Amino acid sequence: MCLPFSDRAPFEVGEGEHSFDYVLKKDIRHPYSIDDKALDLLENEQAKEAFAQKLPQAYAMATGENQEFLVMSVREMGYLPMFGTTADKIAELDAILKKIGG
């Protein structure tokens, strides 16, 4: 058995009824973060607006002609100066994204 969003390695269970309690690695109620691809953020209006407001240069590049930027995460964009990000702005965006419900 493999528990979704768990660090636990797959394991076998015998016959019968089973239940498991565990902490999820990902908050599925608030699925967005700076680790998501720009393409995924742009599909949600709240995430898109926050992205545009907090990181306007990165947003403009992600929505521009070079579609390869759509498959980059905001965290990845933060490593490249051309996206005009700062650690503080990325952290602010991440805090907003984590409050958006799925």
> Quick check: is 87 in a domain?
yes
> Quick check: is 7 in a domain?
no
Expressed as residue numbers, the domain containing 72 is 38-97
Which of 17-21, 52-56, 57-61, 94-98 is predicted least confidently?
Answer: 17-21
Q: Grade residue 87 by pLDDT with cuts at 50, 70 and 90.
A: very high
From residue 75, give the alpha-carbon distance in Å to each of 32, 47, 85, 87.
12, 15, 10, 9
Q: What is the pTM of this model?
A: 0.72
> Quick check: is 5 in a domain?
no
> Quick check: is 45 in a domain?
yes
Our count of domains for the chain comes to: 1
> Quick check: is 72 in a domain?
yes
Report whether 71 contacts 37 (CB < 8 A). yes
> Quick check: is 44 in a domain?
yes
Backbone phi, then psi, for 82, in 5-degree steps? -60, -20
